[in-house]
Amino acid sequence: EEPGFFADLLQLFRNPSFTPMFLGAVLVLVGQGATAAINLHAYRYFWELPPAYMQLPLLILPVGMLLGTLAAGLLLARIEKRDGVIGAVAVLGAYQILITFLGVTGVVEPGSIGAVVLVAGSGLSFGACGALCFVCFYSMIADAVDEHDHLFGVRREALYAAALMIGAKAATGIGAFLSGLGLQLVGFTAPAEGSTATIPADTATAVGLLWGLGGALVVLAAVPFLYRYRIDRARHAEILASLAARKGAMSNAAPITAPLAQH
Query: Per residue in 35-82, pLDDT tens?
Result: 999 999 999 999 999 989 999 999 999 999 999 999 998 988 899 999
pLDDT at 196: 61
Residue 1 has pLDDT above 60, yes or no: no
Residues 6+ apart with CB under 8 A from 16: 230
Whole-prediction pTM value?
0.86
- Give the integer Cα–Cα distance in Å for 132 and 89: 9
Above 50 in pLDDT, residue 2?
no
- Give the pLDDT mean for 188-214: 84
Cβ(144)–Cβ(22) under 8 Å?
no
Residue 237: predicted pLDDT: 93
Residue 220 above 90 pLDDT? yes
The DSSP element (H or E) to which 43 belongs, if any, is none
**What pLDDT, on the 0 to 100 scale, is given for residue 260?**
43
Whether the pLDDT of residue 257 is over 70: the answer is no
Contact 166, 12 (CB under 8 A): no
> In this structure, are residues 157 and 14 in contact, taking their beta carbons and an 8 Å threshold?
no
Q: What would the pLDDT profile of 105-154 be if each residue is shown by its tens digit? A: 999 999 999 999 999 999 999 999 999 998 999 899 999 999 999 988 88
Q: What is the largest CA-CA distance in the chain?
A: 89
CB atoms within 10 A of CB 79: 13
